[in-house]
A = this chain, B = another copy of it.
Amino acid sequence: MINFRVVAFILGVLLILEGAFMFLAAPVSILYGDNDALYIFLSSFFTAFAGFLLWATFRKCNKNVGKREGYIIVSIGWVLFSLFGSIPFVITGTIPSYTDAFFETISGFTTTGASILNDIESLSHGLLFWRSMTQWLGGMGIIVLSLVILPILGIGGMQLFIAEVPGPTPDKLHPRIKETAKRLWGVYFIITMGEVILLLLGGMSLFDAVCHSFTTLATGGYSTKQAGIAFYSSPYIHYVITFFMIVAGINFALSYFALHLKFRSIWKNEEFRAFLSFIGLFTLLVTLILIFTNQGQSIEKSFRDALFQVVSVITTTGYATADYMRWMPSAIVLLLVLMFFGGSSGSTGGSIKIVRVVLLLKNGLLELKRLIHPNAIVPVRLNREAVKPEIITNVLAFISVYILITVIGVIVVAFMGYDLSTSIGAVAATLGNIGPGIGDVGPAFNYAHFNDFGKWFLSFLMLIGRLELFTVLVLFTPTFWKK
């Protein structure tokens, strides 16, 4: 039997927390002289109160959380956060349609950054702060999910990394989750503060620095400016943000080691090296294309634009300093390919993830060796250790399902009348939690032109993409609910 009571209890606790975080947006609104602080306060109170009701009703329940309860809490949790998180946008009248508000909010909590807003700067400071914070909170959730919870649930080859996570030895679920989460959040918080300070030094206002740091670390990509990062002409700001996007795309367990000056275990990590190599290779190619075609632009600017967009896409952040849809098709194709790479495992980046891409490539190459020596055992190696065949099957199954969902998604979007580029772009950018895609959802456009069905459909893609597919999909199998 699934223990629904503990599910409700934990969701209640989470809602109380969401209410508390939402409350922080009210003083921001007051501070900047906006007139919606009361609405934000009401939304936060309502959210926390709903959480309190759940908590109070089920607080005496059996606190055993098994695997199945884990899947349900994670999936419903993200949806519930978005359902309540969209309230401030609606009751302030900023986003009149609930569908639009939900899209904008789940795009926040899934750290996607796909927007339906045609005039971002018309929002109050309080709402902009809350919009950025949805991403920062989503990022927090993802770090714990990918480094602590998913390895326990056994999803997507992430168990590979369980040994590397800082924290006490795994015995009981609760203390381990709590202790590890605390350490990782510490890292997340320190790095966020680091970015705030560096952006302030570059002349950005405190408000914008905090909001952009929130959405950088979450690889979310929401900006407080309609033009996004292109609003800032300072190369310093571009490079600072690029650096922190890269950091956010690295396994946070490695950042924990870095803060403890254990650099050797970072360099030993193959996923880390592959991540940097992919960035280097694609930046080189895109820079060459830009130098070759944009005669009027300095080489430094071409390199900076290429690096920024490559890092923004591979980490699934989705910021833009240039409208890459105006680049050569070859550059667009390179960025489209990167949309399927994603950040490292245990980072806030979405999409397929570097480690899976690496295992895919290695296994493909080894299959050739296996053909020549069919009786030899040729295991795939990662960080010098043999990877178990089950994990390879699991990783390949993940990628297959990812591509399958992409294909179905592209068909569905094309049925709404969109062309091939836009259909591929919209699906790659929402399923991969990137934000802007290509075609009519490129960096110069947004998702406002989708109809309601389209917005709910893409919201669903953001959700399953963010939760490593299987966490959500498993809920749709009859086996899950049996017995």
Q: Which residues of A contact B (CB under 8 A)?
A: 67-68, 153-155, 328-330, 332-334, 336-337, 360-361, 363-364, 367-374, 389, 392-394, 396-401, 403-404, 407, 410-411, 414-415, 417-421, 423-424, 438, 470, 473-474, 477, 479-480
Contacts and interface: CB of A to CB of B under 8 A. Distances in A.
A372 B477 contact: yes
A422 to B, nearest CB: 9
A449 to B, nearest CB: 15
Nearest to A363: B397
A295 to B, nearest CB: 17
Nearest to A361: B404
A480 B372 contact: yes
Q: How many copies does the complex hold?
A: 2
B368 A470 contact: yes
A138 to B, nearest CB: 23
Contacts of A421: 420-421
25 contacts: A68-B372, A328-B414, A328-B417, A329-B419, A330-B411, A330-B414, A330-B415, A330-B417, A333-B414, A333-B420, A334-B414, A337-B410, A360-B404, A364-B404, A367-B398, A369-B479, A372-B479, A373-B479, A389-B393, A392-B393, A393-B396, A396-B396, A396-B400, A399-B400, A403-B403
B332 A477 contact: no
Contact of A411 (B153, B333, B373): B333
Contacts of A393: 363, 367, 389, 392-393, 396
B411 A474 contact: no
Contacts of A410: 333, 337
Contacts of A419: 329
A354 to B, nearest CB: 15
Given A154-B371, A373-B479, A393-B396, 12 more contacts: A329-B417, A329-B418, A330-B417, A336-B420, A337-B410, A360-B404, A364-B401, A364-B404, A367-B394, A372-B477, A392-B393, A420-B424
